[in-house]
Structure 1
Amino acid sequence: MTPEVVIDIFSDAIYLVMIMVAIIITPSLVVGLIVSTFQAATQINEQTLTFLPRLIITLFTLIVAGPWLMRELIDYTQRLITSIPLVIG
């Protein structure tokens, strides 16, 4: 196994993780920003007010994007497993 192959496998894995995390976290960040702006405008300083909307949006995102995320993860795993003979030999 050459260093180039290891770097390619690792970079593909890091790219997949970054895409998956970005898809899950970005809606939560947007909702958190909106709720924080609302709290600043109304001067409500309740910390638990931001938790529930962010939790609901994150769960909704997982429900909507979950099948696509799993398909991407399965495709990467299949590519990784099928490339084992090329990596070894």
Structure 2
Amino acid sequence: MPVETVIELVTDAVQVALLISAPMLLTALIVGILISLFQSVTQIQEMTLTFIPKILATFLALILTLPWMIQTLMDYFNRLFFAIPAILR
């Protein structure tokens, strides 16, 4: 198997992984920034205040984007599966 093929496969896998994880990570980032701003404005320095909203927002983002994530993974694996004959040459 040529090195270029391996690099292409790894690059595609990393891109799909980043694409799938982006909605949850961005949601946690935005909620974390908003909670930090709220804590700065109100001077409430409670550590547990950051965890519950982030967990709930991330879970909500997961529920809302799960069909898209599954479809993206299925498309990737279909491309990979049908490319097997070309890869093995």
Normalising by structure 2, we get a TM-score of: 0.94
After superposing on structure 2, the runs of 4+ consecutive aligned residues of structure 1 that deviate more than 4 Å are: none
TM-superposed deviation, 1:84:
0.9
Match of 1:77 in 2: 77
AA aligned opposite 1:23: P
Match of 1:64 in 2: 64
- For the aligned residues, what is the CA RMSD? 0.9
Q: Supply the distance in 1 between the matched residues of 2:21 and 2:11 (Cα, whole angstroms).
A: 15
AA aligned opposite 1:36: S
Match of 1:23 in 2: 23
Q: Supply the distance in 1 between the matched residues of 2:45 and 2:12 (Cα, whole angstroms).
A: 42
Q: Supply the distance in 2 between the matched residues of 1:24 and 1:49 (Cα, whole angstroms).
A: 19
Q: Supply the distance in 2 between the matched residues of 1:15 and 1:23 (Cα, whole angstroms).
A: 14
Match of 1:50 in 2: 50
Match of 1:40 in 2: 40
Q: Supply the distance in 2 between the matched residues of 1:20 and 1:48 (Cα, whole angstroms).
A: 27
* Residue 6 in structure 1 maps to residue 10 in structure 2: no
Q: Supply the distance in 1 between the matched residues of 2:22 and 2:70 (Cα, whole angstroms).
A: 15
AA aligned opposite 2:44: I
Q: Structure 2: which 5+ runs fail to align? A: none
TM-superposed deviation, 1:7:
1.0
Worse-matched range after superposition: 17-26 or 59-68: 17-26
TM-superposed deviation, 1:11:
0.7
